[in-house]
Amino acid sequence: MKCSYCNRNAVYFQRYSGKHFCKKHFINFFEKKVRGVIKKYEMIKSGDVIAIALSGGKDSVTLTNFLLEQYGGRRDLDFFAITIDEGIANYREKTLIVAEKVTKALGIEHYVVSFKDNFGTTLDEMVRVGEKLPCTYCGVMRKYLLNRTARELSATKLATAHNLDDEAQTILMNFINADIDRLARLIPQREQEGLVMRIKPFREVYEKEVVIYGFLKGYELIFDECPYSELPVRAPIRDFIYEFEKEHPGRKISILRSLEKLSDCLKMTNPQIDLKRCEICREPTSQNICQTCKLISELSGKIAVKYCKSLVYNRKPRL
Ligand code: SF4
Ligand SMILES: [Zn+2]
Ligand SMILES: [Zn+2]
In order, the DSSP letters of 60-119 are HHHHHHHHHHHHTT-TT-EEEEEEEE---TTTHHHHHHHHHHHHHHHT-EEEEEEHHHHH
Residue 244, ligand 1, Cβ within 6 A: no
Q: Report which ligand 1 atom has the smallest distance to the Cα of 139.
A: 7
Write down how long the chain is.
319
- Ligand that comes closest to the CA of residue 142: 1
> Is 252 inside a domain boundary?
yes
DSSP code of residue 12: E
CA count, 13 A, side-chain hemisphere, 93: 2
Best CA proximity match to 63, nearest among 163, 148, 175, 206 = 163
Same-domain check for residues 96 and 193: yes
> Is 317 inside a domain boundary?
no
Alpha-carbon gap, residue 212 to 44, rounded angstroms? 24
Give yes or no for a contact between 205 and 163, defined as CB atoms under 8 angstroms apart: yes
Residue 289, ligand 1, Cβ within 6 A: no
Same-domain check for residues 182 and 271: yes
Same-domain check for residues 16 and 52: no
- Give pLDDT, residue 300: 94
- Give pLDDT, residue 185: 85
Handedness of CA 167, 168, 173, 175 (dihedral sign): positive
Following CA atoms 238, 239, 242, 244 in sequence, which dihedral angle do they give, to the nearest 10 degrees?
A: -110
> Is 103 inside a domain boundary?
yes
Give the total number of structural domains in the chain.
2
Best CA proximity match to 58, nearest among 238, 228, 215 = 215
Best CA proximity match to 211, nearest among 179, 268, 164 = 164
> Is 310 inside a domain boundary?
no
Where does residue 75 rank: exposed (0-12), middle (13-18), buried (19+ CB within 10 A)? exposed
> Is 260 inside a domain boundary?
yes
> Is 314 inside a domain boundary?
no
Residue 228, ligand 1, Cβ within 6 A: yes
- Give pLDDT, residue 181: 87
Mutate which of 228, 230, 234, 295 to test ligand 1's pocket (most atoms within 8 Å of Cβ)?
228
Same-domain check for residues 207 and 180: yes
> Is 222 inside a domain boundary?
yes
Residue 227, ligand 1, Cβ within 6 A: no
Indicate which residue's Cα is closest to atom 5 of ligand 1: 226
Domain residue limits at 111? 41-299
Same-domain check for residues 18 and 160: no
> Is 313 inside a domain boundary?
no
Mutate which of 54, 91, 136, 138 to test ligand 1's pocket (most atoms within 8 Å of Cβ)?
138
Same-domain check for residues 15 and 125: no
Same-domain check for residues 19 and 9: yes
First-last CA distance in the chain: 53
Listing from the earlier edge strand, what are the strands of the sheet with 197-199? Answer: 109-114, 78-85, 49-53, 157-159, 197-199
CATH number for position 123: 3.40.50.620
Same-domain check for residues 28 and 147: no
Same-domain check for residues 114 and 54: yes
3-state SS class at 284 = strand
Same-domain check for residues 9 and 57: no
Best CA proximity match to 132, nearest among 292, 290, 307 = 292
Same-domain check for residues 49 and 67: yes
- Whole-angstrom CA distances from 98 to 48, 210, 220, 258, 318 are 26, 17, 8, 37, 21
Residue 138, ligand 1, Cβ within 6 A: yes
Where does residue 211 rank: exposed (0-12), middle (13-18), buried (19+ CB within 10 A)? middle
- Give pLDDT, residue 319: 58
Which residues is 20 bridged to in the sheet?
13
Same-domain check for residues 141 and 13: no
Per-residue pLDDT of the chain (319 residues; tens, 9 = 90+): 999 999 999 999 999 999 999 999 999 999 999 999 999 999 999 999 999 999 999 999 999 999 999 999 999 999 999 999 999 999 999 999 999 999 999 999 999 999 999 999 999 999 999 999 999 999 999 999 999 999 999 999 999 999 999 999 999 999 999 999 888 888 876 678 899 999 999 999 999 999 999 999 999 999 998 999 866 667 788 888 999 999 999 999 999 999 999 998 988 888 877 889 999 999 999 899 999 999 999 999 899 999 998 999 987 776 5
